[in-house]
Structure 1
Amino acid sequence: MIKVQAEDFIVADEYNKLIKDNQQDGAVVFFVGMVRDFNQNSKITSLTLEHYPAMTEKSLAQLEVQAKQKWQLGRVSIVHRFGRLELGEQIVFVGVTSMHRKSAFEAAEFIMDTLKTTAPFWKKEQTTDSEHWVEAKQSDTEQAQKWQE
């Protein structure tokens, strides 16, 4: 399940969608990313995420397919928000189910690492002094590349 939306999501609802009528999977792993107040030596006041809708959904759907090819997964859920987000607001939910925990943990990490470097989202941080577009971090690229080895 892939959703790209401006509205906030409720973690409990997303979790329940992963487990409803799902007696075959023994592991559920999820990650929630939030807007934090500090990044790259700047005090953040808010974050704006922009995207190209058709390309974004396609990119996230490909991530789901790749994860299911690498691991034996039951369900995969990716919810990503766009628009202006304030400090402490949720940005992204990635959830996976699997028969075994190792696959679930690895798949969730793979999806998040790869999403950060390949999904067509553009971030603009608002700070106490100005606003600026966020450049990709080398550490994120290196983290995503480890899955290609």
Structure 2
Amino acid sequence: MSGGHRKDDYGPVDPATVTDAVDSTMETSSSSTKEDAALQIFHPYRIQVDQSKWFNFLKKDRWYDPDIADPLLNGGNWSVDNAKVWEVLSISLELVDRMLKASIEDKNDTIEMMLFGLIGNWHYVTARPEPMPGAHILLLTEPT
């Protein structure tokens, strides 16, 4: 199955080319599209999204939605309010949420640095000459 970015991935489903996977998961008709068929195969096996458990900064209402008059996605805007865009994006955000929570739980060094590091002015930290004017340095704390 293609990733859905080629011209051949759109248009009506040809009943003569319907695979067993499509046949067992959806009823095809003359109005069925290849995109709908691919989504119906994908849905039973995809990652289950639960936005209620996400960090607040990942949730749908926190995403900036530009008001663009130009349609960018098959007649719709590239927006979290576009159901097809959100359907794909929400899976990625579910994975990001899971990875961040797992990294925090494992006390990952990079997460510790982002949470407990400090960016300071170069001249407050050392007497050595600045590598460039107005340089800053990241100060890390030792995890306890």
Judge same fold: TM > 0.5, yes or no.
Answer: no
TM-score range, shorter chain: under 0.3
Higher normalized contact order (CA 8 Å, seq sep 6+, divided by chain length): 1
Q: Which has the larger radius of gyration?
A: 2
User: What is the TM-score normalised by the length of structure 1?
Assistant: 0.22
* Higher percent of residues as helix: 2
TM-score (norm 2): 0.22
Higher-strand-fraction structure: 1
